């Protein structure tokens, strides 16, 4: 992503660029450039596999938060305050990237009412699109 920003910065300086990364340090121009929502395609053969979530009455988890990379102070505060302290809140730090952990992540996304997307240092996050994908209410914490 940063590579695309660097390569197009001078070459397409007067063009409006649509990028998944809105990093100002990488040349993103507020008011001119646009961002694309970031997401992962889980299966090229079936891109809507696992689309949706459980009905509201079958979502036992009040809120789910997956910190991803532990950057930014807000993520650490959420984990210290909520991790393993309330059965209605599933708050996790970094997860392994193995198949079992990814399946567990999808299960939590389909089973929660609110998904917490907390600010970090990175500007790339598929979590906003994933909350829509899995039909849970997005809570953005900045």
Task: Write the CA distances from 106 to 1, 12, 89, integer angstroms.
Answer: 25, 38, 16
Count CB-CB contacts under 10 A for residue 123: 17
Residue 39's pLDDT is 75
Residue 126's pLDDT is 80
Topology annotation, domain 56-141 = Rossmann fold (3.40.50)
pTM of the model: 0.72
Residue 123's pLDDT is 62
In the chain, where the domains are located: 2-35, 56-141
For the chain, give the number of residues.
142
Strand partners, 115: 64, 138
Range list of H helices, 1-142: 2-11, 73-82, 99-111, 127-133
Residue 129's pLDDT is 84
- Mean pLDDT per 10-residue section of the chain, whose length is 142 residues: 67 77 74 79 80 91 84 83 89 85 89 87 74 89 79
Residue 122's pLDDT is 64
Cα separation, 73 vs 134, in Å, equals 27
């Amino acid at each position: 992503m940063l590579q695309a920003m660097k390569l197009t910065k001078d070459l397409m300086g007067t063009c409006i660029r649509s990028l998944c990364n809105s990093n100002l340090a990488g040349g993103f121009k507020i008011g001119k450039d646009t961002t694309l929502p970031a997401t992962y395609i889980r299966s090229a053969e079936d891109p809507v596999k696992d689309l949706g979530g459980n009905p509201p009455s079958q979502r036992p988890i009040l809120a789910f938060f997956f910190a991803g990379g532990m950057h930014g102070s807000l993520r650490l505060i959420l984990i210290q305050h909520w991790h393993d302290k309330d059965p209605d809140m599933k708050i996790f730090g970094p997860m392994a990237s193995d198949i079992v952990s990814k399946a567990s992540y999808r299960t939590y996304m389909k089973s929660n009412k609110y998904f917490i997307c907390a600010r970090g240092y990175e500007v790339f996050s598929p979590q906003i699109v994933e909350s829509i994908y899995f039909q849970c209410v997005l809570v953005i914490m900045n």
